[in-house]
C-alpha cells in the first residue's frame, strides 16, 4: 500500500485543526452542560496556578504540571479562563500536527495515515471525554491529550518505518512525548514506557532508544530547573497519597469489568484475536508487543473516569498498518488480509458511539443556545467567558434517606443496610447527596459566610469532593490542600475553619472525611450551624 504525501497530510491535519478548533471558539466562550463538578476542580487548580502557586508544592494533585500549564499560560497572557482552555487545546493540536503527520507518513499506509491523523488531532480538540452521552464538557481534558500523545509515541516505537529510518529523530520525539505523559498523567507513562522500551530494543533501534532516553531527561531537567527538586518530591508524595486513598481506588467500574464486563468483553476478545492474527501472519514481534500493550491499555482505561476504551482505534490502526498482502497468509481458509480488515472494522464499530460523539462535540458546542447559560464563577471580576447551563447550576435536587427522617420508614433501615448518620462536634449529618446545583451550592455558602463576617482571606478545609468555595467570595485557597479530596488531611494544618456541608456532592467522601476527623480527635469548636453547613474552628496547636 502506498505512503501518504507528508506535506499534503500535514496540510490536511492543519486545516482540520483550524476548522475543529474554530468551531469550539465560535461562541466566544466556553459553554458547558455537563460535568461541572470536574470543571470546578479544574478552575480551582487553574486560579491557584495563576496566583503563582505550584502543583505538588502548594497544593495536592496526582495530575502533572503539563495538564494545566498550557491553559495557565493563556490566562497569564490576558485571556479569560474559558477561552484560555479552548486556545490551549488549539495550541497543543497545532504543536502535534507535524508530529502526528510525521508518525503517520513514515509508518502507515495512505488511508490509514489520514484516518489516524484526523482521529488523533480530533482527540485533542474534542469537547467531551467520549462515551455515548452527548453534552459539551471539558472534563478530563488531560486524558484526551495523553491518549493522543500516547498513540503517536506508540506508532513511532512499534511500527517499522516505510522507507529510510531516522532513528535519532524518532527517538527524540518518543522521548519528548513520554516525558509529556509523565507530566500530564503518570498512569500513561508507567503503563506504556515498558512496551515502548521493549519495542525499540526488540526492533534493534538502539540509537532511537538512546535518543529517547536523552530527550526525556532533557525535558525533566528543564522542569527541574524551572520548578526545583521539590516539584518532583511533591509529585511523588501526591501520588503516594492517592495510591493509598480510600476515596479513589478507581474512578469507574472494577477492573474485572474492564476486562470481561458486558460492555468491554468484546474489545478484550478482539484484542486477543488481533494478537493471534499478527502472529499467524508472521508478525511475531509486533504480536508480542501487543500482548504487553493490552494490559497497559486496560489499566489506563480502568483508571480514567468513564472507562472510555480509546485504544480500540489504535488496535484498528495497528492491524491496518501490519495487514498482510492478499493471499499471503491463510488460516482455516480465511485470508488474513481480509481478517485484519474485518477485525479493524469491528474495533471501529465497537468504539463508534464514542467516536461519533467526540466528532460532533465542537459542532454541538457551536450550536448551543447561550441564553440558557450563566457564568460559572460569578464573583470573580472580569471572568465571564465560562458558563454553565442554568438548570444544572440551580436545580437543587438531592438524594436523602427517608428512613433516617420519617419515623414510619425507620423499620426498613436495617434491611437497606443503612449506615448511621455521621456526627462531629455535636452536630449530626443525616445522609444527603446533591445530584445537581453545584453553582447554587457555592453561591449560597459563600454568601452566608460573608453575612457571618468570616474574615477575608480565610482558608477552609471542606468535607466534600467540591471545595472551591474560595472562588465565590473574598477567601483564599487552602494552602497545601487538595482541590479534590484524596486523603491525609491535606492542608488542614493551614485551615482557619473546617466547613462541613449539611448536604454534600459525594456522601461517601463526606462520611469518610468526617470519620477521619473524628478518629484523629481533631479539636473543633463550633462557630456557626445552619441549614447549609456547620462551621468549626480547629485548634491548630494540636494539628
DSSP 177-214: HHHHHHTT-HHHHHHHHHHHHHHHHHTT-HHHHHHHHH
What is the length of the chain?
Answer: 543
Is residue 440 domain-shared with residue 527, that is, in the same domain?
Answer: yes
CB 194 within 8 A of CB 176: no
**Which band of pLDDT confidence, cut at 50, 70 and 90, is reported for residue 21?**
very high
Is residue 426 domain-shared with residue 302, that is, in the same domain?
Answer: no
What is the per-residue pLDDT for 542? 61
DSSP 465-526: S--GGGGGTT----TT--SS--STTTTGGG-SEEEEESSBSSHHHHHHHHHHHHHTT--EEE
What is the per-residue pLDDT for 379? 63
Q: What is the dihedral of CA 29, 31, 37, 42, to 10 degrees?
A: -20
**Residue 225 confidence (pLDDT) above 60:** yes
Is residue 353 domain-shared with residue 426, that is, in the same domain?
Answer: no
Is residue 223 domain-shared with residue 349, that is, in the same domain?
Answer: yes
Domain assignment of residue 389, yes or no: no
Domain assignment of residue 495, yes or no: yes
Domain assignment of residue 212, yes or no: yes
What is the per-residue pLDDT for 498? 97
Domain assignment of residue 454, yes or no: yes
Cα separation of 182 and 80, whole Å? 28
Tell me the pLDDT tens digit for each residue of 446-483: 999 999 999 999 999 999 999 999 999 999 999 999 98
Please tell me what DSSP assigns to residue 492.
Answer: G
Q: Tally the domains of the chain.
A: 2
**Which band of pLDDT confidence, cut at 50, 70 and 90, is reported for residue 540?**
low
**Residue 165 confidence (pLDDT) above 60:** yes
Region 210-215 average pLDDT:
98
In the chain, the percentage of residues whose pLDDT exceeds 70 is 97
What is the per-residue pLDDT for 2? 79
Sign for the CA dihedral angle at 169, 175, 177, 183 comes to negative
Cα separation of 159 and 112, whole Å? 13
Domain assignment of residue 390, yes or no: no
Is residue 331 domain-shared with residue 405, that is, in the same domain?
Answer: no
Is residue 287 domain-shared with residue 427, that is, in the same domain?
Answer: no
Please tell me what DSSP assigns to residue 520.
Answer: T
Cell 496547636 appears where? 541
What is the per-residue pLDDT for 193? 97
What is the per-residue pLDDT for 1? 57
**Residue 252 confidence (pLDDT) above 80:** no
Please tell me what DSSP assigns to residue 373.
Answer: E
Is residue 126 domain-shared with residue 249, that is, in the same domain?
Answer: yes
Domain assignment of residue 219, yes or no: yes
What is the per-residue pLDDT for 164? 86
Region 500-512 average pLDDT:
94
**Which band of pLDDT confidence, cut at 50, 70 and 90, is reported for residue 541?**
low
Domain assignment of residue 385, yes or no: no
Listed residues 347, 366, 385: the one ending a domain: 366
Q: 160: left (phi > 0), else alpha (psi -120 to 50), else beta? A: beta
Domain with 343, as residue range(s), is 6-366
- Mean pLDDT score of the chain, rounded to an integer? 94
Is residue 254 domain-shared with residue 299, that is, in the same domain?
Answer: yes
Domain assignment of residue 274, yes or no: yes
Question: Residue 479 corresponds to which cell in the numbers above?
Answer: 494552602
Listed residues 366, 384, 418: the one ending a domain: 366
What is the per-residue pLDDT for 343? 97
Region 485-508 average pLDDT:
92
What is the per-residue pLDDT for 5? 92
What is the per-residue pLDDT for 382? 59
**Residue 116 confidence (pLDDT) above 70:** yes
Cell 438524594 appears where? 399
Region 131-153 average pLDDT:
93
Cell 479539636 appears where? 523
pTM to 2 decimal places: 0.95
**Residue 543 confidence (pLDDT) above 80:** no
Is residue 498 domain-shared with residue 403, that is, in the same domain?
Answer: yes
Is residue 63 domain-shared with residue 197, that is, in the same domain?
Answer: yes
**Which band of pLDDT confidence, cut at 50, 70 and 90, is reported for residue 91?**
very high
Cα separation of 320 and 342, whole Å? 10
Tell me the pLDDT tens digit for each residue of 47-87: 999 999 999 999 999 999 999 999 999 999 999 999 999 99
Is residue 340 domain-shared with residue 446, that is, in the same domain?
Answer: no
Region 262-266 average pLDDT:
94
Is residue 268 domain-shared with residue 332, that is, in the same domain?
Answer: yes
Amino acid at each position: 500500500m502506498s505512503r501518504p504525501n507528508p506535506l499534503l497530510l500535514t496540510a490536511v491535519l492543519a486545516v482540520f485543526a483550524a476548522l475543529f478548533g474554530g468551531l469550539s471558539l465560535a461562541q466566544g466562550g466556553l459553554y458547558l452542560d455537563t460535568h461541572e463538578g470536574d470543571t470546578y476542580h479544574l478552575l480551582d487548580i487553574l486560579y491557584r496556578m495563576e496566583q503563582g502557586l505550584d502543583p505538588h508544592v502548594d497544593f495536592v494533585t496526582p495530575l502533572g504540571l503539563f495538564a494545566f500549564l498550557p491553559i495557565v499560560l493563556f490566562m497569564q497572557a490576558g485571556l479569560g479562563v474559558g477561552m484560555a482552555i479552548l486556545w490551549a487545546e488549539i495550541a497543543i493540536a497545532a504543536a502535534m500536527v507535524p508530529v502526528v503527520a510525521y508518525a503517520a507518513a513514515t509508518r502507515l499506509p495512505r488511508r490509514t495515515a489520514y484516518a489516524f491523523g484526523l482521529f488523533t488531532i480530533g482527540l485533542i480538540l474534542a469537547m467531551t471525554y467520549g462515551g455515548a452521552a452527548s453534552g459539551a464538557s471539558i472534563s478530563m481534558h488531560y486524558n484526551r491529550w495523553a491518549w493522543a500523545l500516547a498513540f503517536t509515541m506508540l506508532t513511532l516505537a512499534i511500527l517499522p518505518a516505510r522507507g529510510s529510518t531516522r532513528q535519532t529523530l524518532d527517538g527524540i520525539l518518543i522521548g519528548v512525548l513520554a516525558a509529556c505523559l509523565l507530566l500530564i498523567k503518570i498512569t500513561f507513562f508507567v503503563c506504556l514506557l515498558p512496551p515502548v522500551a521493549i519495542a525499540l530494543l526488540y526492533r534493534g533501534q538502539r540509537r532511537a532508544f538512546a535518543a529517547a532516553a536523552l530527550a526525556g531527561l532533557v525535558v525533566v531537567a528543564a522542569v527541574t530547573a524551572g520548578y526545583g527538586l521539590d516539584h518532583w518530591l511533591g509529585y511523588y508524595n501526591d501520588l503516594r497519597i492517592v495510591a493509598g486513598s480510600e476515596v479513589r481506588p478507581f474512578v469507574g467500574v472494577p477492573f474485572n469489568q474492564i476486562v470481561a464486563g458486558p460492555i468491554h468483553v468484546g474489545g478484550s476478545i478482539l484484542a486477543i484475536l488481533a494478537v493471534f492474527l499478527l502472529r499467524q501472519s508472521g508478525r511475531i514481534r509486533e504480536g508480542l508487543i501487543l500482548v504487553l500493550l493490552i494490559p497497559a491499555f486496560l489499566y489506563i482505561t480502568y483508571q480514567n473516569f468513564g472507562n472510555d476504551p480509546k485504544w480500540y482505534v489504535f488496535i484498528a490502526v495497528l492491524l491496518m498498518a501490519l495487514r498482510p498482502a492478499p493471499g499471503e497468509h491463510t488460516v482455516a481458509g480465511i485470508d488474513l488480509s481480509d481478517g485484519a480488515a474485518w477485525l479493524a472494522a469491528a474495533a471501529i464499530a465497537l468504539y463508534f458511539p464514542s467516536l461519533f460523539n467526540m466528532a460532533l462535540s465542537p459542532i454541538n458546542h457551536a450550536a448551543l443556545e447561550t441564553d440558557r447559560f450563566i457564568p460559572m464563577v460569578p464573583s470573580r471580576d472580569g471572568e465571564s467567558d465560562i458558563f454553565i447551563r442554568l438548570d444544572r447550576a440551580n436545580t437543587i435536587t438531592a438524594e436523602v434517606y427517608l428512613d433516617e427522617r420519617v419515623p414510619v420508614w425507620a423499620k426498613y433501615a436495617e434491611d437497606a443496610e443503612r449506615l448511621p448518620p455521621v456526627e462531629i462536634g455535636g452536630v449530626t449529618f443525616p445522609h444527603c447527596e446533591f445530584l445537581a446545583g453545584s453553582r447554587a451550592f457555592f453561591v449560597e455558602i459563600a454568601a452566608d459566610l460573608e453575612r457571618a463576617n468570616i474574615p477575608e482571606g480565610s482558608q477552609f478545609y471542606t468535607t466534600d469532593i467540591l471545595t472551591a468555595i474560595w472562588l465565590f467570595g473574598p477567601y483564599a485557597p487552602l494552602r497545601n490542600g487538595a482541590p479534590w479530596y484524596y486523603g491525609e488531611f491535606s492542608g488542614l494544618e493551614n485551615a482557619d475553619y473546617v466547613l462541613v456541608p449539611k448536604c454534600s456532592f459525594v456522601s461517601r467522601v463526606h462520611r469518610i472525611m468526617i470519620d477521619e476527623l473524628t478518629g484523629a480527635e481533631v479539636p473543633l469548636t463550633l462557630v456557626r450551624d445552619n441549614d447549609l453547613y456547620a462551621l468549626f474552628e480547629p485548634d491548630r496547636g494540636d494539628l
